């Protein structure tokens, strides 16, 4: 990796877009020592490698604020190596990974181990998210200072909500010391009550225990009240309900320091998908009704929902291939996120520039990461896109170690041609990850 970073790459014949300034141009991009040297009508002065972009769209690499790479502890589901391959194949050059590993990322040793492993792998940039409470136990705050120094860029007990309103209050207040956000998985476990899918007409038909919208909404309401009372920065993970979107919208109007993400499945599918995709349509929060799907899209349009994250949650086939109520929650998402999101542009909900903004610059800005820009002097982390390219999800396979996706076999529109991290091509078109 180092060799090429010091080298020089000449990318010619591309449309390039910088979402931080909203600038679109056409021409060539010269990259030296991992950074953009110049762009536009520039020549290949001293470049060791030249790539013809074929007129594709060059954007800053996507930044995922929410993924599970499962290492350490659950390497049979995913590793930092396979997760990173999936990331760059999906156009993501930076990925924030959740703390629910084994051991939990609640101490600096685990944080450093994750970062070192990711550097060895040398594909996507991996940013660890530290736990809010020790062992995700919900009782004692982690040493957020040491975790921040070791490289944690945010804190979350994701997989479950921050246990109590008192703990949330402490976490939001204390994390202000380091200007790091607290990410909450908003769910009231009492209302979810062993539910396994959205509560509604589909769960009624299928006889499966339901998770009501109120389960998310009660927790969003709690979090916003606590945030208002004690300050700090709150990032709401995987927003899925109309009520949740409405409350975040109102809170933003009142200038509370809240941001939010949703995931492609919440604006692509409804709970009807459970009927045909079974456990591959099982995730938490669950796929909701059509009215919620539309509200999530509305939230993205008006900026209530800041970013699209993946909640990439790999599980092994033997875990998903069992009874619906026994299978674990979660689906993989890194490799399909861009294509699914591009549908929002085709359907007229978002402009292409808004979409790129919500996949790159906006998430980077939320967590203070130096990504999401395509400007002279900026990091050369890019994705080259073919907006009309078609491919079939999961065929012949996924780069992820797991294949738990309801989209497998679906026709995807919008293709990642190349992914570049630090001036080095890490994913090269027709199925090559340059590991």
Partner 1 sequence: MINRLISPEVPAFGPHLLSVVDLSPEVLTGILDTAESFLEVGHQSVKKVPVLRGKTLLNLFYESSTRTRSSFEIAAKRLSADVINISTTQSSVTKGESLIDTVRTIEALGADGVVIRHPSSGAPAFVSSRVGCHVINGGDGCHQHPTQALLDLFTIRRKLGRIGGLTVAIIGDILHSRVARSNITTLSRMGARVRLVAPPTLLPRGIEDWPVEIFHSLEKGIEGCDVVMALRLQLERAAGGFIPSVAEYARLYGLNAPLLERVAPGALVMHPGPVNRGIEISGEEEFTESSAILSQVEFGVSVRMAVLYLLMGGGPEEVLAGGAVPDKGGKE
Binding site for partner 1 (CB under 8 A): 199-210, 212, 278, 318, 321-326
Question: What are residue 210's phi and psi, to 5 degrees?
Answer: -100, 150
Q: Pick between residue 199 and residue 306 the one whose CB is nearest to partner 1.
A: 199
Q: Which residues of 161-198 are buried (b: 16+ CB within 10 A; e: fewer)?
A: bbbeeebbbbbbebbeebebbbbbbbbbeebbeebbbb
Nearest residue (CB) to partner 1, 286 versus 333: 286
Identity of the residue, 254 or 318, whose beta carbon is nearer to partner 1 in the bound complex: 318
Q: 209 or 294, CB closer to partner 1? A: 209
Does the annotation mark 311 as catalytic? yes
Instruction: Give 72-100 as a 3 state SS string.
Output: CCCCCCCCHHHHHHHHHHCCEEEEEECCC
A 10 A CB-CB count for 108 gives 20
| Residue nearer to partner 1 on the CB measure, 211 or 355 | 211
Residues 6+ apart with CB under 8 A from 358: 300, 305, 306, 307, 308, 341, 350
The nearer residue to partner 1, 6 or 201, going by C-beta atoms, is 201
Give the DSSP H or E segment for 260: strand 258-262
String of DSSP letters for 209-248: PEE-HHHHHHHHHHHHHHHHHH---EEE-S---HHHHHHH
Smallest distance, Å, CB 121 to partner 1? Answer: 32
Q: Which is nearer to partner 1, 203 or 240 (CB)?
A: 203
Q: Tell the smallest beta-carbon distance from residue 215 to partner 1 (Å).
A: 13
Cis before 72? omega within 30:
yes
Sheet with 307-308, side-by-side order of all strands: 155-156, 182-184, 234-236, 258-262, 307-308
Least distance in angstroms from the C-beta of 295 to partner 1: 18
How far apart (Å, rounded) are the C-alpha atoms in residues 11 and 16?
A: 10
- Which residue among the candidates 157, 184, 188, 311 is catalytic per the annotation? 311
Residue 324: CB minimum distance to partner 1, A: 5
276 to 272, 328, 335: CA distances (angstroms): 8, 17, 21
Least distance from partner 1 to the Cβ atom of residue 328, Å: 14
The CA distance from 89 to 95, in Å, is 13
Tell me how far, at minimum, the Cβ of 241 lies from partner 1, in Å.
14
Which of 350, 357, 236, 240 has the alpha carbon at shortest distance from 295? 240
Smallest distance, Å, CB 211 to partner 1? 11
Catalytic residues: 311
């Amino acid at each position: 990796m180092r060799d090429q970073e010091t080298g020089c790459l000449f990318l010619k014949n591309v449309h390039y877009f910088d979402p931080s300034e909203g600038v679109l141009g056409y021409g060539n991009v010269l990259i030296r020592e991992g950074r953009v040297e110049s762009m536009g009508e520039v020549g290949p002065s001293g470049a060791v490698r030249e790539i013809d972009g074929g007129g594709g769209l060059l954007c800053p690499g996507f930044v995922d604020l929410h993924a599970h790479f499962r290492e350490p502890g659950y390497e049979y589901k995913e590793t930092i190596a396979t997760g990173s391959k999936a990331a760059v194949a999906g156009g993501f050059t930076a990925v924030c990974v959740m703390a629910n590993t084994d051991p939990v990322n609640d101490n600096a040793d685990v944080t450093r181990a994750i970062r070192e492993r990711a550097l060895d792998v040398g594909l996507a940039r991996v940013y660890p998210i530290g736990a809010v409470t020790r062992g995700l136990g919900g009782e004692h705050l982690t040493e957020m200072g040491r975790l921040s120094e070791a490289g944690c860029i945010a804190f979350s007990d994701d997989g479950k909500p921050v246990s109590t309103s008192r703990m949330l209050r402490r976490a939001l207040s204390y994390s202000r010391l380091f200007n790091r956000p607290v990410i909450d998985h908003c769910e009231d476990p009492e209302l979810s009550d062993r539910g396994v899918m959205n509560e509604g007409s589909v769960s009624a038909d299928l006889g499966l225990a339901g998770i009501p919208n109120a389960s998310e909404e009660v927790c969003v309401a709690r979090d916003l009240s606590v945030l208002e009372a004690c300050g700090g920065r709150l990032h709401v993970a995987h927003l899925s309900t109309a009520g949740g979107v409405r409350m975040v919208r109102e809170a933003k109007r009142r200038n509370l320091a809240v941001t939010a993400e949703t995931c492609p499945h919440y604006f692509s599918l409804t709970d009807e998908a459970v009927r045909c995709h079974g456990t591959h349509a099982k995730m938490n929060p669950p796929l909701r009704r059509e009215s919620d799907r539309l509200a999530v899209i509305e939230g993205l349009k008006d900026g209530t929902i800041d970013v699209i994250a993946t909640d990439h949650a790999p599980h092994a086939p033997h875990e998903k291939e069992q009874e619906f109520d026994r299978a674990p929650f979660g689906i993989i998402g890194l490799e399909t996120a861009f294509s699914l999101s591009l549908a929002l542009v085709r359907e007229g909900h978002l402009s292409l520039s808004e979409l790129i903004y919500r996949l790159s610059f906006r998430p980077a800005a939320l967590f203070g990461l130096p990504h999401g820009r395509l400007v002279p002097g900026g990091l050369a982390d890019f994705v080259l896109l073919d907006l009309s390219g078609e491919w079939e999800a999961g065929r012949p396979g996924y780069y992820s170690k797991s294949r738990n996706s309801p989209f497998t076999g679906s026709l995807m529109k919008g293709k990642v041609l190349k992914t570049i991290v630090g001036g080095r091509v890490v994913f090269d078109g027709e199925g090559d990850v340059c590991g």
